[in-house]
Chains A and B, each alone.
Chain A
C-alpha cells in the first residue's frame, strides 16, 4: 500500500511539472466557465417558469423562486389547449418517422447495394437538392397542396416524408449500408434468398443503430418544425405544439412565467430523448461531416 501511495505521489509531481499541465488546467477552467454560460439561458428559463408574477419583475432579479410556483405548469397547460396540441403533434410525428424509415431505407438500399443504370448520377442529383433553399419550393408546393384542397390538413406535413424528400437520411443510411460486409448478402443469395428477403432479414436488422438515428432525427425534426405547420395549418384546433407555443407568445407576452413554463414543457421531451440517445446523435453528426 505505502509503496503504491509513494508511486502515485511521484507520478503526481511528475505530471504537475510536466509541460502542458498548466494548459490543461486552463482548458478545464474555461470548460467550467463556458458550461455555466451555456447553461445560463436554460437556468433562467427554469427559474422564470417557477416564479410568481410578483417575483419575476423584481429588480435586481432573484435566482431562487420564493415560493416555488409549481402551479404555473398546470396553468400554462390549460391556458393553451396543450394536450390537444400534443395529440396533434403525435399525429404528425409518428407518420413522419414511419414514412422516413420506409422511403429512405429502401432508397438507401438501392443506392448502396444494388447495381442499376444511372445509380450514381441519380444519387448525385438527389444530394444536390440538399443545397436548395427551402423557400424556393415552399411557395409552389403550397399552391399545389392548396389546389388539391389539402391546406389545413396534415397531408402536406406528412406525405413528403413518405417520398424521401429528406435526402440527408438517404445519405446517412446509404453510408451505413455500404459499410456492411458484402459477404452477408452474397451468402444469403447463394442460399436462394430474394433481394427483398436480403433487405428485410439481413440488412435492416444489422442496421438498427442507423435506423434509430434516422427515426430520432426525423421525429425531432417534425416535433420542432415550425415553418410548415405555420404555412399549412390554419385552424387553431389543429395546431402542433411548436405552432401553438408561438401563438402563446403573441397572446401572453406579459405572462412570462406561463410562457416559460410552456417553453420548458416543449423542451423536456427533446432533452430526454437526447440523453438516452446521445451516442447515436454524435456519431450521426460526424458521419455527415467527414465521410462520403
Chain B
C-alpha cells in the first residue's frame, strides 16, 4: 500500500517503451505505474489468499493426511503408502465404488449429451413458441438437487410411483428402479437426463454459430439432412462437444447427493458412488487418512481422463481458423 496516497491515476494504454520498460528498474518505474501494480495486487489479494489458504494448502495437507492413519481419536501416525496399498489390494469396496462410478459416467455422459444435443437441434428450428420450449426444457436443471432427489425418489416408488403406474397401464409388470441392484444406476442415469438444461443452451449457442452458407452450399449439392448433420453440424460443433464432455465427465465422477439421499449406496452397494464412499470413510467412520487417499485417487483418475480427452482432442476437434 506504499502508494495508496498517491494522487496519480493510471494509464491503461501501452506506454512508450522509452522510460521504465527498457531499463526495467523498479526504482525508475513511474509512480503512476507503481500505483497501478500496488492496487492490482491489493485487488487480487482476497482471491489469491483464498487460493493459497483454501485450495493450495489443503491439497498439500490432503496429501500429507493420506500418508497417515488420521482419525477422530488419537494422534495421527505416518504410514507412508499403506493407505494406497490398502485401497488397491485390501478394499473390495474401493473397486466396487470405482466400477459403479465408471458405469454411471460411461452411460450418463453420452446419454445426457445426446439428449441435450437433440433438444438443442429442435430449438434451432424456426418453430412457434421457441422461448417457451426453451424455458420448459431448462427448468428441471434449476430445481435444487435436494428437491429433485425427493421428487425422483417418489416417482421411482415401486408401489405408488409415477413410473410403475404409467407402465402398469400398459400391462408392464412393476420394476424396482433404485431399489434393485441392477436397475439403480440406469435409473439414476435416467434422472440425470432430466437436468440437461445448461448443456442444451451451450449446444444451442454452438449450433447458432455454424455458418448458414455451409448448409446452403450443401442444399445446392443436394445433401440430405443426415449428411448435413454428419458432415457439417457435428464437425463444426466439436469444440462445444469437447467442452460439454469435459464438464459433464468431471461432474458425473463426483456424484454424491443421489446416493446419499435416495439409496444410501445400496442396494447391495449397487450405487456406492466413489464420492459417497469417500464421505462415508471420512465423516461416518472418521478415517480421514484413508478417505484422503481415496480423494487423491479420484483426483488422479479425473486428471488422467481429462488429459487423455484433451490429448486426443486434436484428432477429432475441428477449430475454425481465423475468427477467434
Contacts and interface: CB of A to CB of B under 8 A. Distances in A.
Contacts of B73: none
A189 interface: yes
A102 B44 CA distance: 11
Contacts of A115: 12, 36-37, 40
Nearest to B198: A285
B254 A114 contact: no
Interface residues of A, number: 101
Nearest to A41: B151
A226 B67 CA distance: 29
B165 to A, nearest CB: 5
B9 A48 contact: no
A83 B140 CA distance: 25
B147 A266 contact: yes
B36 A136 contact: no
Interface of A: 23-24, 27-28, 30-31, 34-35, 38-42, 44-45, 48, 56-57, 59-61, 102-104, 106-107, 109-111, 113-117, 119, 122, 125-126, 129, 131-144, 160, 162-165, 167, 170, 182, 185-186, 188-190, 192-196, 198-199, 220, 223-224, 226-227, 230-231, 242, 245-246, 249, 256, 259-260, 263, 266-267, 270-271, 274, 278, 281-282, 285-286, 288-290
The 10 nearest A-B residue pairs measured at CB: A163-B50, A164-B47, A289-B202, A107-B47, A140-B58, A116-B40, A110-B43, A140-B61, A114-B40, A189-B9
Given A38-B194, A114-B43, 13 more contacts: A24-B126, A34-B133, A42-B139, A59-B160, A60-B169, A111-B44, A129-B55, A135-B278, A137-B55, A163-B46, A227-B256, A246-B260, A266-B147
Interface of B: 7-13, 35-37, 39-41, 43-44, 46-51, 53-55, 57-59, 61-62, 65, 70, 119, 122-123, 125-129, 132-140, 142-155, 157, 159-160, 162, 165, 168-169, 194, 198, 201-202, 205-206, 209, 225, 240, 243-244, 250, 253-254, 256-257, 260-261, 275, 278-279, 282-283, 288, 291-292, 295-296, 298-299, 302-303, 306
